[in-house]
Amino acid sequence: MLVKRQLTKVINRFKFEELESAVIPVFPETSWSRVRSKLIKNHKTFTVANAVHVIQDILDNTDLSLKDLHDRLTTLEVTYISRHNNKRIWYGYKLSGLNNELRHLDSQEIQEGIKKEFYSNGLDMDIKAVMYDSIMFICVKEKKKKKKAQYLLLPTYFALFFGQKYFFCSRKNVSVDYIKTIAFNLGYNNSKRIKLMGKDLKSLIKLLWIKQQNVLQAGDINQPPVYQPSNPVISNNGTDYTQSKQRKKYAEQCFGKDPPILEKLVIKGPEESIKHDSVASKLPTNNIRMNWEFRSHNMARFLTALIERRAFMPPLPDYISNFMIMGKNELTLQTEQQTQS
């Protein structure tokens, strides 16, 4: 059966040490001690693949409905995402238009509320919600019928931070109905996409918190860090004229000591006319736009290295030095004329 193969495929993604807390609770027909006992009895090593064989035997000898199997599959999928959320890129949304008093709902209440809202809009959805590491993860699957058989589309995942006006989605392009439903169940009328994306959810929400703190302390937000060159260091080995330590200190002023982890920085330049006279005379109506995209496992560390090695010379432009207080990693630059208009 296809769904059983899908179940084993998802279980195989987990680490062995996660099976007891994340996988076995989905199968009340067995227990972790029973799985371990079978592995020991059959002289099998403690690996995920061997544990999966034990779980497969249990599934084969248990009369489970197709609906129950799909339900367990969705639970395992969202559980896996909750524990390995840094393997996906998450796209940020900001909530607006508070329509209800905010409540701290548990996963079951959130799950049922979203399901009812979809159903009222004529959509039959499979919804699962789990809480992990203070983040609510929600899996949304739309049920479709094809040739009298029902199947599920690929899941869309959401990550919610209670008490925050933001949530994140695992898809760059997602149905408006999905976004509206999530916002409504969080007590808001609307939401809009923000220019923030990344793999580390805690870092993303930290970046938004830093932005909020700087808005509250608006007096400091427009004061860029100051680069102060140091005098040459004289030692027994000679005179060191390099400013590497000062440049590193300047980068720390810009990005902080423990900055949020981001994997991408996109800078979109303004649209401008061609400046080169000979080219401009041949293309008088053409404009150009320069874009830059930086990728790294840790953008703050990467930018610091560029500053230390003088690839970026301080002082940096405001859109780089204030990068960590903007609450976004997709920046759009404007010319002075565009700013004034």
HEC per residue, 265-328:
EEEECCCEECCCHHHHHHCCCCEECCEEEEECCCHHHHHHHHHHCCCCCCCCCHHHHCHHHCCC
What is the tens place of the pLDDT at every residue in 150-189? 555 789 999 999 889 999 999 999 999 999 999 999 889 9
Arithmetic mean of pLDDT, 133-147: 85
Tokens of 281: 């005379």
Q: Is the pLDDT of residue 275 over 80?
A: no
Contact 3, 73 (CB under 8 A): yes
Check residue 229 and give its pLDDT.
76
Arithmetic mean of pLDDT, 260-278: 87
* Separation between Cα atoms, residue 341 and residue 134, nearest integer Å: 44
What is the tens place of the pLDDT at every residue in 67-117? 899 999 999 999 999 999 999 999 999 999 998 766 667 889 999 999 999
Q: Is the pLDDT of residue 340 over 90?
A: no
Domains located in the chain, CATH noted: 1-64 (no CATH), 87-199 (3.30.160), 206-338 (no CATH)
Burial (CB < 10 A; 0-12, 13-18, 19+), residue 273, is: exposed
* Separation between Cα atoms, residue 170 and residue 89, nearest integer Å: 6
pTM above 0.85, yes or no: yes
